[in-house]
Amino acid sequence: MDFDNARQRLCGCYVTVPTLFHDDSELSLNLEGIRRHVGFLLGGGLKSGNAVFLAGGAAGDFSTMTFEERVVVAGAVVEAVGGRAPVAMGAQTTSTAELRRLARAARDLGAHYIQVSCPYYFRHSEEDFYEYVVAAAEASDIGIIVYNTFWTSTGVTLGLVGRLAEIPNVVGLKWATPFPGWMTFEQVVEAYGRRFSVIDNQMHFVTSHMLGARGFEVHVCNYWPEWGVQLVEQLNRKDYPRVQAMLTRTAQPFMKLWSQIEQEYTSGDGYLDKLCMELVGLPSSRCRPPTRDVRERYREDARGMLLQAGVPRVQGAA
């Protein structure tokens, strides 16, 4: 693996491609729908230099898919992208053995990175997680993006970030922290922005970009890719007032509705992306259970949110 090239290409909008399902009894994979969606993202201007596509992440229903389905979905995204942008494969799992298999599978199908977070369910120690990442690095010569999922598992501390920097394959850090007041988020971006390509998963895009972050987790791209292209352009120009205005007008209402659904109806990821995709005329679906189907209950709320944010292509009320 060429570390410098892998780190350099890990930049721009970090787009979590939703996994689409058929509306049948098994909610079977809709691979053609996924390919069409990737084509929409590319057609909207997302490409190498301003985007990285994540297949089978949390918004891609990884937790409800079999190992084989995860590989098939990632393969479909890699095929549809066709080398026009880097692709990461979600490799979260509770098993080190399965992590090794996912790392090898990602390499074999042509993905550029795997996304790895601390195993969930048990509260593993930092040493557990360190050895887990080492196992992935030893299994495959592929770029590793470490994801700090402190809300489901052991969080990544400043000290652990320093140890992870010693693993050559670790090129990216998808970063958020639970207590913004301690400014650990800023400390890590500033201290390790030259070692890793830091992906901001906390919506602090102005601050993180100023400190050296190079990637930005953006759900909006799934239904408005041109917005993501413009976001990266404004960040590169350091037009920070414009960037913050874009986030306030477009991303904040999405996050507000997502939070509302989490509090009063169901939990998961990707379901609001997919509902918004439906409302702009794209292939879509529900998420697999146990996440409940949000479409009927929140369709009009989502439509209103999109219209207020100025999203193009929104379909009219039925």
Residues involved in catalysis: 147, 174
223: helix, coil or strand?
A: coil
**Is beta strand 215-217 parallel, antiparallel or unpaired with respect to 197-200?**
parallel
d(CA 68, CA 171): 26
- Dig out the tokens for 279 from the structure: 């409302």
All residues at 6 or more sequence positions from 190 whose CB lies less than 8 Å from its CB, including other chains: 211, 212
Question: Residue length, the chain?
Answer: 318
CA atoms within a 13 Å half-sphere pointing along the CA-CB vector of 313: 15
268: left (phi over 0), alpha (psi -120 to 50) or beta: left
CA angle 107, 113, 159 (to 5 degrees): 130
Helices H / strands E in the chain, number of each: 13, 8
